[in-house]
Structure 1
Amino acid sequence: MKFWKFFSIFWAIYWLFFAIGLPLILHYRGHHRSDYEIIQTSAGESFILLGVGTALWIIIFIYYIKKFLVNLPSKTNGIILLNVIGLLLFIALAAGILVYTYINESHGYGWRYLYLWHPYIFIPGSFILYSPLFFYITRGIFSKY
């Protein structure tokens, strides 16, 4: 039984790397928009991208709350501080990405630095895409065990 617990922890870490770590590494490794590219982005487009990213993060928060924080009294105390801490880390990640990139990438042009593959938009999108693949496929494959 310890093997399957280790196996599920390994896949959770693997999934988190591809959902969070890889988009951050790819973005901060070298793709920053130049001032010319930022100027060419309209304010309407940037606010739409900001709204899309915020909506995706809200979907992730609602999914997390439904999956892990519903029926808290029925869960043990150790599983409650960890689930709540996980939610707080997700909120901190969303806010941290948005604030950090606004300070370092906006260059005084507001939200125009956002683009479709920006981590603020891509990370919740990858969570939404990878979650069914991770949970349902692995559950179907390893349901016998």
Structure 2
Amino acid sequence: MKFSNGFNIFWIIYFLFFAIGLPLILHYAGDHHQSDFEMTNTSVSKAFILLGVGTALWFIVFIYYIKKFLVNLALKKNGTIVLNVVGLLLLIALAAGILFYAYINESRGYGWRYLYFWHPYIFIPGSFIFYSVLFFDITKSLFSKFKANP
């Protein structure tokens, strides 16, 4: 394995931990659930706006993933396309799983009012977008100057 491949794998795992793992750990291990008082004082319109924001962010992540990993690889004819499709399906399952699990365990009969801005359903795709732009786009443009072109 080349050094650059190992380096890329390290950064992808690092990125996934901070984009997905850390928000889940902080939310569920830190017991940052909304109390009954907070949920009764949250308006239905705010809850649906947060649900819409989270869903829109997840769709942006899906589109970015498809553009970055599926379309580009299909043009290069790399067949690793199966692994990338599995990755996309896992990403979709993560989004649906977080929403389903949180609704069952956190709503306590208040509907979507358990959502708040720092909830993992909203924070994970936001951090995913932030880290994707930071790690993959900005650093790629910065270090492309130093990469030797044959």
- TM normalised by structure 2 equals 0.90
Structure 1 equivalent of residue 130 of structure 2: 129
In 2, the alpha carbon distance for the partners of 1:6 and 1:142 equals 17
Cα deviation for residue 16 of structure 1 reads: 0.7
| C-alpha deviation, 1:137, in angstroms | 3.3
Return 5+ residue gaps in structure 2 as ranges. Answer: none
2:60 pairs with 1:59: yes
Task: Show the 5 A alignment for 1:68-79.
Answer: 68-70=69-71, 72=74, 74-77=76-79, 79=80
1:64 Cα shift? 1.1
d(CA) in 2 for partners of 1:115, 1:131:
23
Partner SS, residue 116 of structure 2: coil
- Find out whether 1:20 has 2:11 as its counterpart: no
In the alignment of these two chains, the number of paired residues is 144
Give runs of aligned pairs for residues 30-109 of structure 1, distance below 5 A. Answer: 30-70=31-71, 72=74, 74-77=76-79, 79-109=80-110
Letter of the 1:117 counterpart: W
Residue identity in the other structure for 1:138: T
**Aligned partner of 1:75: which letter?**
K
Output one character per residue of 1:4-49: Cα deviation in whole Å (capped at 9) or x when no partner. 2111110111011110011000000121111111111111100000
Calculate the aligned-residue CA RMSD, in Å.
Answer: 1.5
Question: Which amino acid letter does the alignment assign opposite residue 53 of structure 1?
Answer: G
1:8 aligns with 2:8: yes
> Pairwise mapping of residues 109-120 of structure 1 onto structure 2 (< 5 A)?
109-120=110-121
Q: CA deviation at 1:66?
A: 1.3
Counterpart-to-counterpart distance in 2, 1:15 and 1:81: 22
C-alpha deviation, 1:119, in angstroms: 0.3
Q: For residues 82 and 13 of structure 2, what CA distance do their matches in structure 1 show?
A: 19
